[in-house]
Chains A and B, each alone.
Chain A
């Protein structure tokens, strides 16, 4: 079953393509998320759900990289939520 962690990995891989893996790995680390070279999440900070992390990730992404970062994955995320019957928290 698909989860919000899968959605977060979808965003991370998409931003690898738009900004480069190095920048996104460094950005995720600032949020306490450890990301591997293939875009997988290795660890997350304690006390936060994957859903909360996804929302925080998207908000901080917009602040740090601008609107293009959000636009570049909006359709993919929307499609993912619809296909997996997950509520869109964004």
Chain B
């Protein structure tokens, strides 16, 4: 808390793991691309959208030679997290292997993405990198897409959680502050379909040793991780809660 961070630059959140996002004064809904540099393998995590591509790219090339990127992970196919992929393919003149669920592979080509896929559900929900480092994938169906999948890096113990644990806030900081749990609830109450579905999925995370949660929106959770998990497990959510209000 209280540390001064320069958001105009890439920020190393763990050894070899970087935040490549951006800030916007008047947006409650920022995106957080990340990168894992594992030597022979370089994994981009949800690289973002068209309007922010140049900002993202300048941060990317500040931490690695972009040509070294060989994998891209996407939790689902919302445009804010992956419409920049065709621009990256074009800029680098290469394709990647996209790590995602089979259901997401059906939709990503509609953005003009040419890269191939590694459907994590067809490969035992894991990927072993050349270094031996293992990435695990956890299925979170209907949170909020049927194929929603999050990624856990065993080495850093970071959970790259996609929309889960994301927040809606104009009072943004890279690391979750005192009231982030409220920003997180504000987002999940509308995006997640029901308490039962959210609780069922979030409970799967209790088997993991999580040091940090890095969501695609909002702030990174690096303290009291269990408190945030509990908050989502017990959250009353779903737009259906508003039925009868109109």
Contact = CB atoms under 8 A, between A and B. Distances in A.
Interface of A: 13-21, 23, 68, 71-76, 78-79, 82-83, 88
For the residues of A in contact with B, the DSSP-based class is helix
A74 B238 CA distance: 11
A34 to B, nearest CB: 19
A14 B170 contact: no
Given A74-B242, A75-B241, A88-B245, A20 B236 contact: no
Contacts of A19: 169-171
Given A19-B171, A75-B190, A14 B241 contact: no
B236 A75 contact: yes
Q: How large is the interface on B (under 10, 10 to 19, 20 to 34, 35 or more residues)?
A: 20 to 34
Contact of B179 (A16, A82, A83): A16
B189 A17 contact: no
Contacts of B242: 74-75, 78
Interface string B157-191: 00000000001111100000011111111100110
A69 to B, nearest CB: 10
